[in-house]
Amino acid sequence: MIQAEYEQIHMPLIGDDAPAFKAVTTEGPINFPDDYKGKWVILFSHPADFTPVCTTEFMTFASMQEDFRKINTELIGLSIDSVYAHIAWLKRIEEKIEYKGMKNLEVKFPVIEDLKMDVAKKYGMIQPNASTTQAVRAVFIIDPEAKIRTILYYPQSTGRNMQEIKRIVMALQKNAAEKVATPANWQPGDDVIIPAPSSMVAVKERAGNSEENMYCLDWFLCLKKDSKK
């Protein structure tokens, strides 16, 4: 029997409990998820410190940290580097790098030291066909109950869109609060989708519904105005 070249990589799926971990970070030790009860979390990995794409991503995340906190969301970064390398890189960003008008940015969210790849392996961030020594650009959006709600993966060459990540968090929060879905290209304040009826009785009831803020494009596709717009 031929032995596999790489150990099998497992990753959690949407709806799973987010794997628990304890880690050393640039902001001190963290115990996840206990330290983040009641909060949404964006856990994201990057291939390495002192790399160009990662630098632009960290600057953008740092510039948006307070925006994320306003929607009850915390950021946690990770790469397979030491905390000392993290600190040196973050200081370089703060002291020397200017990008798209962003400068003197202090990265205040924790960045995990993961030299043994313990956390990266729990989350399937190591993908051997991409690299056996670096984490891919992974994003896990985790809800206040420590359930994984979204998983995004990017190749090492492609920077992430932080506004899109924020939009996803807000769409998930909308769903959790109001039990509605969000249509293509939804932005906060846009109309939302009402769940489709699941029986003929419900279809007939909906046909006779004249709720002011609701309108239907067909029996299975009904929307309503955002009450908080």
Residue 82: pLDDT above 60? yes
Q: Predicted confidence band at 4 (pLDDT cuts at 50, 70, 90)?
A: very low
Residue 116: pLDDT above 80? yes
> What's residue 178's pLDDT?
93
Is residue 137 part of an annotated ligand binding site? yes
> What's residue 210's pLDDT?
60
Per residue in 141-195, pLDDT tens?
A: 999 999 999 999 998 889 999 999 999 999 999 999 999 999 999 999 999 999 8
Q: Predicted confidence band at 216 (pLDDT cuts at 50, 70, 90)?
A: confident
Count other Cβ atoms within 10 Å, centred on residue 82.
Answer: 14
Residue 9: pLDDT above 90? no
Q: Is 159 helix (H, G, I), strand (E, B) or coil?
A: coil
All domains in the chain, ordered by first residue: 21-161 (3.40.30.10), 179-229 (no CATH)
Beta bridge partners of 99: 102
Residue 229: pLDDT above 90? no
Rounded to whole angstroms, how far apart are CA atoms 229 and 225? Answer: 8
Per residue in 12-60, pLDDT tens?
A: 999 999 999 999 999 999 999 999 999 999 999 998 899 999 999 999 9
> What's residue 207's pLDDT?
61
Q: Nearest 5°: phi and psi at 18?
A: -70, 130
Helix crossing, 52-70 with 83-96: angle to 10°? 80
Rounded to whole angstroms, how far apart are CA atoms 80 and 29? Answer: 16
Q: Predicted confidence band at 129 (pLDDT cuts at 50, 70, 90)?
A: low
Helix crossing, 162-178 with 52-70: angle to 10°? 30
Burial class (CB within 10 angstroms; exposed 0-12, middle 13-18, buried 19+) of 191: middle
How large a percentage of the chain has pLDDT more than 90?
69
Q: What tokens appear for 15 in the block?
A: 């709806």
Q: Predicted confidence band at 220 (pLDDT cuts at 50, 70, 90)?
A: confident
Rounded to whole angstroms, how far apart are CA atoms 184 and 97? Answer: 36
The model's pTM: 0.89
Q: Predicted confidence band at 134 (pLDDT cuts at 50, 70, 90)?
A: low
Residues labelled as active-site residues: 54
